[in-house]
Amino acid sequence: MTISKLLVANRGEIAARVLRTAKARGLATAVLRHATEQEGPAHLIADEVVTIDGPTPVAAYLDISQIVAAATKIGADAVHPGYGFLSENAAFVAALEEAGVTFVGPTSQTIDLMGDKVRARAFVEERGFPVAPSAIEDDDPASFVERARAVGYPLLIKPSAGGGGKGMRVVREDSTLETEIETARREGERYFGDGRLFVERYIERPRHIEVQVMGDGQGNVVHFWERECSIQRRFQKIIEETPSPALTPEQRDEICETAAGIARAVKYRGAGTVEFIYAQDGAFYFLEMNTRLQVEHPVTELVTGFDLVAEQLRVAAGKGLSAVQADIPQTGHSIELRICAEDATADFRPAIGDIRLLDEPQGEGVRVDSGILDGGKVTTDFDPMLSKLIVHGPDRAQAIARARNAVQNYVILGVTTNTGYLDAILAHPDFASGDVSTGFLAEQSETLTAPGEDVSDLLMAAAALSDARLVSDVMQIPEMYRKMGGWRN
């Protein structure tokens, strides 16, 4: 089977990134665009842009029948889902199969299994892989609260059908357990249409370590090493790196082999990520498997030299894996920063505005996967992530230095972004020493958002002199009065 025309059923930076590889491999390419959506880099790269509509832009990107119809209409023989939207939707995969279009990803059965945290966890546990102490509501709803108590505090409540931190609640005291369960249930019902819950022991000061895997669907699986993603706000990652500074070479082999073993157990097809929670004592537990390309996949590409989208397309075309494990190196160090339109000093409130000036950093070891164009508008229609800055260096210290230099030179003006906040994280001594956990940003929030050196006089001078109306008003005052400079007129 060959793939000759690829539709990317996504938008933003990931659509642009997938399209670049597809084009370089000689495929005809197409991408979606909602009628009200700003033009982005993906629309300039794709050979064809298919307009979709829906009550909201997000709804259009979730509209299975419309997207399958679009693929058929333009004669696409494969669809790449990117991440988010329909990338882990088994019904979408089934609908494409029925229409005779190849889905670049795993089977609908794998998506179903791994998409249900409860089943996924049971599957992994039954095969002897490590999972954290837990209680599953479905096992016996009547005794759920009791069994949750038995897991011990602190504990974490999660919706069975959840993902991305939505609906997750940490409970530290027995007195709040029952109200938190009800809140989590409502959130689960609203976001996933499924109020079933499970709880697990909350590991104090955990690290988030995940492993990139790739399978051919026949039981052959290789891993592309780990990524550490402990730098999270609101349970969402904003800085990722590889290798993890926490692992010894032995631990690295163990966690990577465990991930590959889990993927082998499901005869995994395509690119996937096995996520683990890593305790301070070195123990690690299966968290979940994401059956798609991850946002942070570029760090893996920079240390291994592999193009993971090219690997995905190869597997989807039935050509198998391009490498055996011994051929996959982990060279140097890579860090990714997620550039988001948000105000880090105001609880990461999403920001909107017009991008009035965009100047992205360049240079050795610097890669920018961008979803924005100069002159674009940032709205609340989609996720606040604008682009990703990925750097590579010979070692971690040099990668950090390169990342700091690049993020400092990332000029996005007209909308509030988190570039200064990201730089403050990179500059933090605990980040430099690698002594972090998923609670790092919350624990250090004051330090990380503290104002720097007071340059307000310079800023006000710049703001005053660039204010055309103010300058013109000043110059129209008769010279004598201007000179008086009447402060407190």
Partner 1 sequence: MQRIFQIDGEETDCWLGHDGSRFVLNTPTGAVACQLDPTGLPGGYTLRAKGVVRELRLVVGPEATFVHMDGRTYEVGRVDPAERLAGSDGGASDDRLVAPMPGVVVSVAVKPGDAVEEGQPLLVIESMKLETTLTAPRDGVVAEMPFAEGDSFGLKDILAQLAPEEE
Residues contacting residue 332 through CB under 8 Å, at least 6 positions apart: 302, 303, 392, 393, 394, 395, 399
* Inter-helix orientation angle 108-115/117-126, to 10°: 100
The residues that bridge with 214 in the sheet, in sequence order, are: 222, 271
- Shorter beta-carbon distance to partner 1: residue 197 or 271: 197
CA distance 47 to 78: 15
CA distance 410 to 422: 11
- Shorter beta-carbon distance to partner 1: residue 126 or 374: 374
- In terms of C-beta density within 10 A (0-12 exposed, 13-18 middle, 19 or more buried), how is residue 83 classed? middle
Q: Which stretch binds partner 1 (CB under 8 A): 4-12, 210-218, 294-302, 352-360?
A: 352-360
- What letter does residue 202 receive in the DSSP assignment? P
Does 283 engage in binding with partner 1 (CB under 8 A)? no
CA distance 198 to 135: 6
Q: Which stretch binds partner 1 (CB under 8 A): 16-24, 105-113, 429-437, 473-481?
A: 473-481
> Shortest approach of partner 1 to residue 404 CB, angstroms?
8
Per the structure block, which two tokens stand in for 2? 């060959």
CA distance 88 to 108: 9
- Shorter beta-carbon distance to partner 1: residue 100 or 451: 451
Does 489 engage in binding with partner 1 (CB under 8 A)? yes
> Shortest approach of partner 1 to residue 378 CB, angstroms?
12
Does 427 engage in binding with partner 1 (CB under 8 A)? no
If we measure between CA atoms, which residue out of 63, 43, 44, 45 comes closest to residue 53?
A: 63
> Shortest approach of partner 1 to residue 280 CB, angstroms?
27
User: Which residue in 408, 432, 434, 439 binds partner 1 (CB under 8 A)?
Assistant: 408
CA distance 242 to 230: 12
403, 391 Cβ separation under 8 angstroms = yes
Does 471 engage in binding with partner 1 (CB under 8 A)? yes
- Shorter beta-carbon distance to partner 1: residue 245 or 350: 350
> Shortest approach of partner 1 to residue 112 CB, angstroms?
23
Residues contacting residue 183 through CB under 8 Å, at least 6 positions apart: 169
> Shortest approach of partner 1 to residue 345 CB, angstroms?
7
Does 59 engage in binding with partner 1 (CB under 8 A)? no
Does 55 engage in binding with partner 1 (CB under 8 A)? no
- Per DSSP, the three-state class of 120 is helix
The residues that bridge with 266 in the sheet, in sequence order, are: none
CA-based max dimension of the chain: 87
> Shortest approach of partner 1 to residue 165 CB, angstroms?
8
Per the structure block, which two tokens stand in for 416? 């509030």
- In terms of C-beta density within 10 A (0-12 exposed, 13-18 middle, 19 or more buried), how is residue 147 classed? middle
User: Which residue in 1, 142, 326, 468 binds partner 1 (CB under 8 A)?
Assistant: 468
Site string for partner 1, 293-312 (x = CB under 8 A): --------------------
User: Which residue in 110, 289, 423, 426 binds partner 1 (CB under 8 A)?
Assistant: 423
- Binding to partner 1 in span 196-235, by CB under 8 A: 234
- Shorter beta-carbon distance to partner 1: residue 94 or 415: 415
Kindly report the number of other CB atoms within 10 A of residue 260's CB atom.
21
DSSP 409-427: T-EEESS--SHHHHHHHHH
User: Which residue in 126, 359, 435, 443 binds partner 1 (CB under 8 A)?
Assistant: 359
Per the structure block, which two tokens stand in for 249? 């070479």
Does 459 engage in binding with partner 1 (CB under 8 A)? yes
Per the structure block, which two tokens stand in for 432? 């430099």
- Shorter beta-carbon distance to partner 1: residue 272 or 361: 361
Site string for partner 1, 147-166 (x = CB under 8 A): -------------------x
Site string for partner 1, 230-269 (x = CB under 8 A): ----x-----------------------------------
> Shortest approach of partner 1 to residue 413 CB, angstroms?
4
- Shorter beta-carbon distance to partner 1: residue 398 or 408: 408
Question: What does the angle CA 149 – CA 153 – CA 159 come to, to the nearest 5 degrees?
Answer: 70
- Shorter beta-carbon distance to partner 1: residue 10 or 418: 418
- Shorter beta-carbon distance to partner 1: residue 135 or 340: 340
Per the structure block, which two tokens stand in for 417? 């972004």
- Shorter beta-carbon distance to partner 1: residue 254 or 343: 343
If we measure between CA atoms, which residue out of 91, 120, 115 comes closest to residue 265?
A: 120
Residues making contact with partner 1 (CB under 8 A):
166, 183, 186-187, 190-191, 234, 345-347, 349-350, 353-354, 356-357, 359, 380, 408-409, 411-414, 416-417, 419-420, 423, 451-452, 455-468, 470-471, 473-475, 477, 479, 482-489
